């Protein structure tokens, strides 16, 4: 039988050898967080896509809208400038993952499929899917089932939640997908599709703008979804800051104030082209 002290010594040697590399790895400096990078560079780069009233261009070409206000206030509270990076919606998550910007603030619905690729902040807003339809082509349509037919053509923005909503609630309809919502509305105005599926309140806004051609057939939104900031996975410090910031501006009433201005009034309409 081996002496007890020899056995203990052997165990200590083995444990020391096994834990050595791990301990060395723990001593390595942590990867720089997005928060640290933004503060060091003095600028927050925000990925977004234009759609009313979240983000749009005014008469001078300047970006305005609910998301623009949110991102601008976030940057101000961080003590940095904001840089907007307009990006096609279908490629916005890959662009985030390759480092083209620091965060997506663009009315992005928090979906399980997206959450596999990115981290989401707590919701700072809620939206839902609605429909704006062509008065002649969709005459007498008033329910989802009216649009759920093989001869009905729906336009949706590529890569957006309207695609998933249309496929789930109107699987029999034909889908035509476009890079941005301006194209979907143009197809509708030209009479090439029966309706556009989009996040509220865009359908209602388009009806007010083109009352002779368009109407909203459903009394209420047919889905409800939370909206959050999207950022790269593994960045706990930045996620923590975003969540606490959202909680702060919600508690002071600022989020509700900006939401009311952009979604419940038309005071800003004269700023557009």
The whole-number average pLDDT for the span 181-205 is 92
Average pLDDT, the chain: 88
pLDDT in tens, 159-178: 778 898 999 999 999 999 99
- Domain 129-215: give its CATH superfamily: Periplasmic binding protein-like II (3.40.190.10)
Task: Return the CATH architecture of domain 34-126+225-271.
Answer: 3-Layer(aba) Sandwich (3.40)
The pTM is what? 0.70
**The tokens of 164 are what?**
């998933």
- Hunting for tokens 């009352």 — which residue is that? 211
Sequence spans of domains, the chain: 34-126+225-271, 129-215
pLDDT in tens, 7-48: 444 444 444 444 444 434 344 445 789 999 999 999 999 999
CB atoms within 10 A of CB 269: 12
- In b/e form, how buried is each residue of 197-215, taking b as 16+ CB within 10 angstroms? bbbbbbbebbbeebeebbb
């Amino acid at each position: 039988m081996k002496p007890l002290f020899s056995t203990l010594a052997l165990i200590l040697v083995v444990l020391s050898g096994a834990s050595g590399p791990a301990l060395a790895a723990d001593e390595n400096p942590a990867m720089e967080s997005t928060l640290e990078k933004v503060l060091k560079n003095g600028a927050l780069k925000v990925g977004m896509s234009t759609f009313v009233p979240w983000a749009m261009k005014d008469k001078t070409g300047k970006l305005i809208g609910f998301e623009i206000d949110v991102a601008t206030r976030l940057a101000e509270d961080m003590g940095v400038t904001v840089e907007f990076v307009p990006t096609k919606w279908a490629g916005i998550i890959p662009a985030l993952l390759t480092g083209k910007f620091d965060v997506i603030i663009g009315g992005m619905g928090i979906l399980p499929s997206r959450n596999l690729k990115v981290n989401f902040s707590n919701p700072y807003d809620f939206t839902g899917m609605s429909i704006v339809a062509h008065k002649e082509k969709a005459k007498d349509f008033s329910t989802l089932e009216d649009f759920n037919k093989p001869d009905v053509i729906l336009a949706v923005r590529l890569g957006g939640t309207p695609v998933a909503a249309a496929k789930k609630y109107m699987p029999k309809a034909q889908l035509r997908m476009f890079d941005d919502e301006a194209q979907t509305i143009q197809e509708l105005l030209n009479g090439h599709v029966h309706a556009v599926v989009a996040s509220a309140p865009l359908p209602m806004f388009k009806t007010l703008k083109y009352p002779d051609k368009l109407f909203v057939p459903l009394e209420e939104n047919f889905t409800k979804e939370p909206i959050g900031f999207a950022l790269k996975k593994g960045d706990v410090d930045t996620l923590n800051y975003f969540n606490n910031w959202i909680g702060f501006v919600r508690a002071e009433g600022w989020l509700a104030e900006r939401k009311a201005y952009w979604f419940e009034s038309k005071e800003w309409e004269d700023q557009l082209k």
